Every structure is written in structure tokens, then in C-alpha cells.
Amino acid sequence: MKTITGIAVAPGIEIAQAFVLEQFRQRVPHHLVVPEERPGELQRFEEALAAAQADLAADHERAETDLGPEAAKIFEFHLGLLQDPTLLTPIRAKISEDGTNADFAVASSFSRIIDQFNAMGSQVFRDKARDVLDLERRVLDHLMGRSEERLSRLNKPVVVIAHELTPTQAASMAIEHVVGLATDAGGRTDHTSIVAAALGVPVVVGCHAITEHVNDGDQIILDGQAGQIIIQPDEQALEKFQVAKERLERFRTETAQEAEAEAITRDGTRITLLGNIEFPREINQLLEYGGEGVGLYRTEFLYLTSTEDPTEDELYEQYSSALKMLDGRPLTIRTLDLGADKHTQQQALEPERNPFLGLRSIRHSLRHLPMFRRQLRAILRASVEGPLRIMFPLITTMTEFKQARMVLNDVADDLREEGVAVRPDIPVGMMIEVPSAALMASTFAREVDFFSIGTNDLIQYTVAVDRSNERVANLYSAANPAVIRLVKNVIRAAKRRGVDTSLCGEIAGDMTYTMLLIGLGLRSLSLVPAQIPRVKQVIRRVTLDECEKLARRVGAFESQRRILRVLREETKRVLPEADGGWNAD
């Protein structure tokens, strides 16, 4: 039995056989082709290229059906690469002019580009190398006669183990049989994680060398909450995690039945539960789970999956569709949070050395005004379809907020001059994601209509920990006393000014923190839709007095370990049947 720890991406517990994807670069034969046979060899390449392009188109269609149109845009990017003359022209020249066999011409040309990207030492370029490698495999599969698709032939539940999982491989999976994913590489924001969220299975990434320790058919326990993989578990571990798995499934079934109940404490305090979404299609699930609107609509995905920025009309269709689906419920749109390891670094000729402290979020938008104005025009055009709020991300200074609001007002004036209807008095707010904004909350409260506390980044910047780095992941905790004090400061400042405040970080959906957040004064939480029923269960079993006493109690602690222990004890006291909702420890 061996335990490997990685980065938890999607929660859940699964026990199944391992399905290991070979990730090695296959050996390709090399020989010269006589001049009279070169046209036929070139034709063989063209046919393989056309077949690979057809496969990509089919995968695009399948991904659109299974995962939605947004996730399918990844394959539009791949199709563009496989039609790029800078990639294809050298291959054709090697075959027709140098007499290289098609297989080796493809492998050597793709390998040169892959090696160049890998040598650049940046995660962004390594991601590009993975995309090129995926395309190389497609073409070589057709040239060398290996057309079997192991992933598409799955017929039993498996945990897929891979060095990395390309979008192509993810789309080709028989998703009804994939119950979990674990990879050597990756982080929370890469393609694997995006696809995993759409699949709805537990996922652990960043496991380093898990592919070196797992063989096809090995029994695997995957704990997507604790970020652990247990290989060939003994009977004791199997029994322990089977109990935890059954308890978690039973709890999920029970909580789902309370989706329609109101989120009101036992003494009558109402808590508004909203949803965090990336795609309009998630709204149906949000409503099924009892969500009352959208508290955070992340708008980056259309940018992350295409080589070209979406048009104003494409953005408008997304936003207006979301408002129509909500049917009068509120929609809070966060403007573009591009930067760091996302779109800007992929497109930059020289990626930033430390992008998380660089030109990201509102800074990026204010530096790229045509793109920012295009998004704001689409948002304002859609505003007439329902109650909408606009939220600016990663505000650190008052100047940034005023500049962003000035651009928004200017865009609104332009639209009205053009005769385009715009909803009057749209609330405009900001995310509190950095300590400077939290400390200056009372000043910001004079200018904003609402706050949304984004604890994911707030924790990261407060404790100086990259939450995607498993070496220091244990230091990343919302139970850190400094984080709690900053959240408390924001809530108090907002209350004094009468500013509506919500919290949209991951802890909003973690039952461990529900009582604390209510006790600190929050009356609105925005979370992953599937988490709404279980958080609602906690709310309905506590009183406001209990929550406030808990907040005062942990507020005096100096140890995050002690704070976390007390929060867990209180939550288990209130909801003992949810014990399996955390992990099997």
C-alpha cells in the first residue's frame, strides 16, 4: 500500500481500478523515400492530416454535447494549430524535397517545436508543448496504423491515471465509466481541472510521479477532498474509505432533498445562497439545488479556450442567456479576471516572471481598454433582460475602482447615444481579494454599491502561499487568524456604510466555515451550486446566537489549527451525519 498526495481539485471518494494512460513519445522509424515515391508519401501525410482534423472536429462535437459549448472551444484552438502553415510547410518540404518518410517528418518537426517550448522553462510554454504533443500523436496514430482509442472503449468504472490529460483525451473518454482522475502534472486552473469540473468526478492533480507507481488494473482509492491517492490499499484502508464513501453518498442524497427549503436559521435569520458559475448552462443545476441567483459569474472561459477574443455579440449572447434563464433572479457578473497563468501569459511574447503579482484582473482590463469596453458594452446591452450587478476583480486602490467605473459610465453613455437601451442604476461593486482592499474597506464603502469577499485570493495574498503548490499547501488556510480578522474588518466597514456584502470564495461552500461566516455578520454566500443543499442544512440547524458566540470564541485564538479544530467540532455537533463530507480521517 502506498499513499501519494497531490492538489485536490474536485471532491469525492472513489474506489476503482486504475486505467493508466501511456504518455511516452513513441519511437518512429526513419528511412529515405526515392523521388518517384515521394508524391505518394506526401499524399499519405495529407490523408493522415485530414483524418486527424476530422477526429478533432468529431471530438469538438462530442465535447459540445457532453461538456457544453464553452469547453468545446478548446478543440477550435487545436484545429487552428493543425492548420497552421508554419507547422505544416516544413513537414511537406521534408517529404517532397528531402525524401524523408512521412512518419519521421511529422515526428521530427513536431518534436522540434515541443522541445523549444519545453526549453523555455515556463509553465505557459509547457502547456503549449502539451497541445502540440497531442496533435503529433493524432497524426502519427493515422500514419502508423494505431487507431485504437483505449479511452473510448472503457466498459467498467476506472480511475484514470496520467502524466497529464490533454483536452483531446478528456473528450474521448467514455465519461460514464470514468469515476476519477489523477495526474502527475497540473494545477487548479489548467485544462484538466476545467474538464474535470464539467465531468463532476473527484480529481487530484500535481501528484508528481504517480504514473511511476501505478499499473493498469491496480486498485485505487481516490480522495478528492484530501487530495490523496492510495495504491493497492490494504483491507483496513478499504473498509475505512468504503464507509466514508457510503456516508458521503448518503449525506449528498439527504441534503439534495432539502434543496427547496429556505435557508433560515432556527431563530429566523435569513441567509441568501447564490451560485458561482462559469457557463450559463450551470444555471439549471443552480436552480435545482435551491440557489437564489448568481453571486459570481466568471467570464474568462470564452477567452481561455480560443486563439481569438470573443466578439461583443458572442459575449452579449452569453450574458443575456444567463439573465433569461434566471427569470428575474439576480446575476452578478465579474468583469474579466485575465492574467497570471491564464490567457495573458499564454498570449504574451515574454511571460511575466511573477504573474500573480503582475498585470492581471482589473489592471489588465484597464491596460487593454478596447477589450474591456467590448465586454462592458455586452454586459450593458444584456442588462435589460433582468436584475444585473457588475463587479470589478482584484481592486487594490481607489484609483483603480474610479477608473473602471469611469470607463463603465463612458460606455453606457455611448450606448444610449446610439439608441441602445441600458438598465438604469445598475449596482457596481468590487471584489475584496487583497489585504490592502480589506484594510481600506471603510474608504471603498463610500464609493461602491456592494462588496464580494473573494477568499481564494485573499488567503493566498495574506499568507503568501501559492495554493496550487503542494509543498506549501498546508499553510493555505481560511482558518488563519489574519484572514479571519480581514474578513471581519470588511463586514464591519460595510455594515457601517450600509453596503451589501457577500462572500464568494471556496469557504462559502465548506460547511466547516458556515457558522463562523454567519457569526461574523455575513447574510449572503455565493458557492458552487452542488454545495448549496449541505450548507443550507447547517444554516437550518443553528441559531444566530450560536454562530455569534462561535465567532467571538475563535476570534480570540492565535492558532489556525485550534480554530479549525473548534470549527469542525461545532459543525459535527450540529450536523453529525455530515462527518463523511470532509474526509475519511
CATH value at residue 15: 3.50.30.10
273 located within any domain = yes
243 located within any domain = no
- Show which of 143, 174, 204 is a domain's final residue: 143
Residue 124 belongs to domain with CATH number:
1.10.274.10
Is 315 in the same domain as 448? yes
Is 128 in the same domain as 177? no
Q: What range does the domain containing 227 cover?
A: 2-21+150-233
Structural domains in the chain (count): 3
Is 446 in the same domain as 393? yes
Phi, psi angle pair for 344, to nearest 5°: -65, -40
191 located within any domain = yes
Kindly state the percentage of the chain with pLDDT values over 90.
46
What average pLDDT does this structure show over 332-344?
A: 76
How far, in Å, are 428, 485, 494 from residue 491 at the CA level? 18, 10, 5
Is 160 in the same domain as 283? no
Out of 60, 163, 364, 504, which one is annotated catalytic? 504
Query: Residue 525's CB: how many other CB atoms inside 10 A?
Result: 28
Residue 445 belongs to domain with CATH number:
3.20.20.60
Is 400 in the same domain as 522? yes
Find out whether 514 and 538 touch, Cβ atoms under 8 Å.
Answer: yes
Out of 78, 191, 343, 364, which one is annotated catalytic? 191
pLDDT at 447 exceeding the cut of 70: yes
Is 127 in the same domain as 193? no
249 located within any domain = no
Give the integer Cα–Cα distance in Å for 333 and 345: 23
More confident residue, 52 or 448: 448
DSSP string for residues in 344-397: HHHH-SS--SSGGGSS-THHHHHHSHHHHHHHHHHHHHHGGGS-EEEEESS--S
Is 227 in the same domain as 325? no
Instruction: Say what the pLDDT of residue 431 is.
Output: 97
Is 552 in the same domain as 461? yes
Is 341 in the same domain as 325? yes
Instruction: Say what the pLDDT of residue 353 is.
Output: 66
Is 200 in the same domain as 262? no
Is 287 in the same domain as 433? yes
Is 518 in the same domain as 449? yes
Give the integer Cα–Cα distance in Å for 303 and 311: 10
What is the pTM assigned to this prediction?
0.70
190 located within any domain = yes
Is 191 among the catalytic positions?
yes
514 located within any domain = yes
pLDDT at 107 exceeding the cut of 80: yes
The closest alpha carbon to 335, from 394, 392, 409, belongs to: 392
More confident residue, 458 or 127: 458
Question: What does the chain come to in residues?
Answer: 585
- Show which of 102, 124, 143 is a domain's final residue: 143
Render pLDDT for 382-428 as a digit per residue (tens, 0 to 9). 999 999 999 999 999 999 999 999 999 999 999 999 999 999 999 99
- Show which of 143, 160, 185 is a domain's final residue: 143
Instruction: Say what the pLDDT of residue 343 is.
Output: 47
Render pLDDT for 7-65 as a digit per residue (tens, 0 to 9). 877 778 899 999 887 644 455 778 888 888 999 999 999 999 998 888 888 878 877 77
Q: What is the mean pLDDT of the chain?
A: 85
